[in-house]
Amino acid sequence: MQILVTGGLGFIGSHTALLLKEAGHDVVIVDNLSNSKLDVLQRIKKISNVDYKFYKADVTDEAKMKEIFARNKFDGIIHFAGLKAVSESISKPLEYYYNNVVSTLCLIKCALEYNVERFVFSSSATVYGENDSPLKEDMKLGLTTNPYGETKVINEKILRDVSVAYPHMAISLLRYFNPIGAHPSGLLGEAPNGLPNNLMPFITQVASNKIKSLKVFGNDYETVDGTGVRDYIHVMDLAKGHIKALENIKIGVNVYNLGTGKGTSVLELINAFEKINNIKIPYEIVERRKGDVAACFADATKAYKELGWKAELTIEDMVRDAWNFEKDYK
């Protein structure tokens, strides 16, 4: 199949583009480089030894997107492009709503006009709000605590409405848990611009002395050691989940959790990092972060039953590969 990958130079998109090629699909990447560098294109070419068609374009630019659709013959779309920093979304709500919602509207309009029937969307576990874990796809969605999360809820709703009006469309909503890790080559990984938001890039930047110490947000939750519990998933496993989702896509809207089903606390992740990489991570316990839930992990059985996919890599693989990328990253 020829697959349009929006946001394909970002963290998850770049790993998925690589695996799509490996699985024999043709890949066309669209990215506006707002949170990635062109250098990622050279890196994926180097790893796979093949070329990728790339357009530097904004997915919210409908005229430009129509031009791209007219020049290619897509069989499917994986829509990663979006802004994703939770705290930034609180200070810049309009940018987040505009970018994340208009991009999907433009893409779906193009898909309908150019008869592209397969559409895979990057959603997030954040749509479950304060529901108790393990989180299941058929749970009622929770209240979101920030504009970023709300854009995921709105996008899911838009795609459900599209499916009602255009029942020939095959749409998958993939709810990711916490992707970390990196490509085993050390050439691809998570390289956020500015100060990281998420725990894993924070840990690796403390390890490389870019940041002095880690702040652990609260140790008084009702969890194994009082710190927040999340379902960390290796980005390579997550990327594989997209290939399975695309190859097994069904008509209508189908929702899948992409997680491991296993929770890990902040202190457990720090300990695993220290042990595997033999580096001490200085940290201090501070106040809880606003909007955080105590625990968030998936019931990952549906993706296994329906797509034949399950995460295979361990926390040890994740912390090793994350550091392997960060330590040489320039």
148, 176, 232, 256: the catalytic one is: 148
Is residue 238 a contact residue for ligand UDP (CB under 6 A)?
no
Considering only the stretches 8-16, 18-26, 43-51, 192-200, report the one whose residues sit in contact with ligand UDP under the rule CB under 6 A: 192-200
- Interacting partner of 171 out of ligand NAD, ligand UDP, none (Cβ under 5 to 8 A depending on kind): none
Sign of CA dihedral 120, 125, 130, 135: positive
> Does 329 participate in catalysis according to the annotation?
no
Do the beta carbons of residue 79 and residue 102 sit within 8 Å?
no
Chain length of the chain: 330
Considering only the stretches 45-53, 155-163, 168-176, 210-218, report the one whose residues sit in contact with ligand UDP under the rule CB under 6 A: 210-218
The partner residues of 291 in beta bridges, in order of sequence, read none
* Size of site (CB under 6 A) for ligand NAD: 29
DSSP secondary structure of 12-63: HHHHHHHHHHHTT-EEEEEE--SSS-THHHHHHHHHHTS--EEEE--TT-HH
- Interacting partner of 33 out of ligand UDP, ligand NAD, none (Cβ under 5 to 8 A depending on kind): ligand NAD
Q: How far is CA 128 from the centre of its chain?
A: 16
Considering only the stretches 52-60, 64-72, 135-143, 272-280, report the one whose residues sit in contact with ligand NAD under the rule CB under 6 A: 52-60
User: Contacting ligand NAD (CB under 6 A), which of 1, 23, 33, 279?
Assistant: 33
Report, in Å, the least distance between residue 198 CB and ligand UDP.
3
Is residue 266 a contact residue for ligand UDP (CB under 6 A)?
yes
Considering only the stretches 5-13, 19-27, 208-216, 254-262, report the one whose residues sit in contact with ligand UDP under the rule CB under 6 A: 208-216
Do the beta carbons of residue 244 and residue 300 sit within 8 Å?
no
DSSP secondary structure of 57-104: --TT-HHHHHHHHHHS--SEEEE--S---HHHHHH-HHHHHIIIIIHH
Report, in Å, the least distance between residue 81 CB and ligand NAD.
4
Amino acid 101 reads V
Report, in Å, the least distance between residue 6 CB and ligand NAD.
6
Amino acid 193 reads N
Q: Which of residues 168-187 bind ligand UDP (CB under 6 A)?
A: 178
User: Contacting ligand NAD (CB under 6 A), which of 3, 4, 5, 12?
Assistant: 12
Sign of CA dihedral 92, 41, 20, 58: positive
Report, in Å, the least distance between residue 76 CB and ligand NAD.
16
Catalytically active residues are 148
